[in-house]
Amino acid sequence: MAGAAVVALLLTGCATPTVPGARPADATTRATPKPTPGQTDIRVIEMVSASYAYDVSDVKEVASHSASVVVATVERIGDRAEFPSNDGSFPETEVIIRVDEKLKGEAPPAGVIIVQGGVVTEQEAFEAMPLERAQKSGLADRSVKERESSLVRFVTAAPADLAVGETYLMMLKTDPERGVYALGADGYAVFRQDGSTFTNMITRQKLTTEDLRDLLG
C-alpha cells in the first residue's frame, strides 16, 4: 500500500535531526496548491526518535547552545515545506516572526526562521532521496501524477507547534554556511507566552525573561 511505503521510506535515517536551514530571506513562501480529491487527507509522518548533543530538558543548556534568544510573535507560517537537500534529510518550513525583545545575540534577518517538518508532496519526497531508497519504499513504482496528487506532513519527535498570532520565547541556532536561523532543539527551544511567564509545551517548564537572563549570566 502506498501509505505504508511512504512511512517506511520517510522514517528511514531520520533518527538524528540535522541543523535546519532556509531559503534566502527574500524568497517567497510557496502556497499550498488547491487540493485535489486525493489530497484532502494528508498523511502524518512522524520522526520516531531524536538525539541531541546536550540535555534539551535543561533550559540553561538549550539557551547556552543557542546563538540568539528572542521573544517574538509568529506572523506567518509557510503552507509548504522544502527539503534542504536530496540526501533524505527532514523538510523545513519557513516561519516569519516579529521580534519583540532580544535577550541574547541578534534577531533573524527579515524575521525569517526555519522549523523542521511540514507538508510536501510524495513527488517532492521522492525527489529528495536516493533512488535506491525510493525503490525500496515503493515510491519509484508510483506515477508522477500519483505522487504529485498526494501530500504528506512530516512531524518531528519534538514538534514546536507554533501558531500565528502567539508570542514565544525562542532559542535559535544559526547555520553559518547557509546564513539562516532555526530553532535550536525543535520544540524544546520554544516557550509559549502565558501572561508574564513562558511555558514549554513538552517539558511543562515555566520561566520569565528575568529567569532566563539569570541563567545566561
**Closest alpha carbon to 14 in 198, 155, 126:** 155
More confident residue, 13 or 49: 49
Pairwise CA distance, residues 203 & 58, whole Å: 9
Report yes or no on 192 lying in a domain. yes
Residue-level pLDDT at 136: 81
- In total, how many domains does the chain have? 1
**Closest alpha carbon to 122 in 158, 89, 94, 146:** 146
49: confidence class by pLDDT, cuts 50, 70, 90: low
84: confidence class by pLDDT, cuts 50, 70, 90: confident
Report yes or no on 10 lying in a domain. yes
pLDDT in tens, 114-133: 999 999 998 998 888 888 87
Residue 191 pLDDT > 70 = yes
Look at strands 68-82 and 197-199 and give their pairing: unpaired
Pairwise CA distance, residues 30 & 188, whole Å: 27
Say how far residue 188 (Cα) sits from the centre of its chain.
12
Residue-level pLDDT at 105: 95
Residue 8 pLDDT > 60 = no
Identify whether the C-beta of residue 92 lies closer than 8 Å to the C-beta of residue 116. Answer: yes
Residue-level pLDDT at 41: 57
Average pLDDT over residues 18-39: 38
Residue-level pLDDT at 152: 84
Report yes or no on 35 lying in a domain. no
What is the CATH number for 206?
Answer: 2.40.50.120
0.85 exceeded by the pTM?
no
Q: Which domain holds residue 133?
A: 2-29+40-216
Report yes or no on 89 lying in a domain. yes
Rounded-to-10 torsion of CA 53, 55, 57, 59: -100
Report yes or no on 125 lying in a domain. yes
